[in-house]
Amino acid sequence: MITEKEDAVSPVIGVMLMIVVTVIIAAVVSGFAGGYSDSDRKAPTAAISCQALEGGLLFTHESGEYIDLVDVIVILTNGEDTRRFYGSEHQSGDDPDDYVIRKVSRVSSLTADLQINTGNQFYLYADNDGSASGVSGAYLGWNNPEFYLTTDEIGTYRIVERESGQAISEGIINI
């Protein structure tokens, strides 16, 4: 009796299937790593400077994309203390003149246009000048919650887009 040895095809198919699965997994991983699946909105980028003035902070849009002040959060840090200010936050009531963050404009209504671009400025109003705070070196202050910028700490700012949580600009506050 003669027996023929028959080789099965299934080991070859199994190896090919493993190679195909490995290639597909590698393509998916590289797609995620390359950001192809990233559907998050990117924050605009801008160079913004900040200067402390009597009564608040003046921000100047030096260059970059336009920014809508309603969509930003200004985060101030002084040493270990941090305070957030929202573009649509009011100090009191619904009077447009009570906005904490306002665009500096030559037009009578300071809140008519809240979009800023290169050359525009916006102002973050302080509640007090820090003189009656009892905090050493305080030069600007805000209430509820209490926060002060002081001369003995380096004050920094960070402007963040509210929707994406990404930074638009950040830097040191010039005194």
pLDDT tens, the chain, 175 aa long: 666 666 666 788 888 999 999 999 999 888 877 766 555 678 899 999 999 988 899 999 999 999 988 889 999 999 899 999 887 654 444 444 445 677 776 544 444 467 899 999 999 988 887 776 678 888 888 887 788 998 888 999 999 998 888 999 999 998 7
Instruction: Name the E strands within 38-154.
Output: 46-53, 56-64, 67-68, 72-78, 81-86, 101-104, 115-116, 121-125, 138-142, 147-150
Q: Are residues 139 and 163 in the same domain?
A: yes
Q: Are residues 129 and 162 in the same domain?
A: yes
Q: Are residues 159 and 93 in the same domain?
A: yes
Q: Are residues 127 and 143 in the same domain?
A: yes
Q: Are residues 91 and 127 in the same domain?
A: yes
Enclosing domain of residue 76: 46-172
Looking at the structure of the chain, the number of domains it has is 2
Q: Are residues 116 and 168 in the same domain?
A: yes
Q: Are residues 95 and 154 in the same domain?
A: yes
Q: Are residues 132 and 91 in the same domain?
A: yes
Q: Which residue, among 73, 86, 78, has the nearest Cα to 172 in the 3D structure?
A: 78
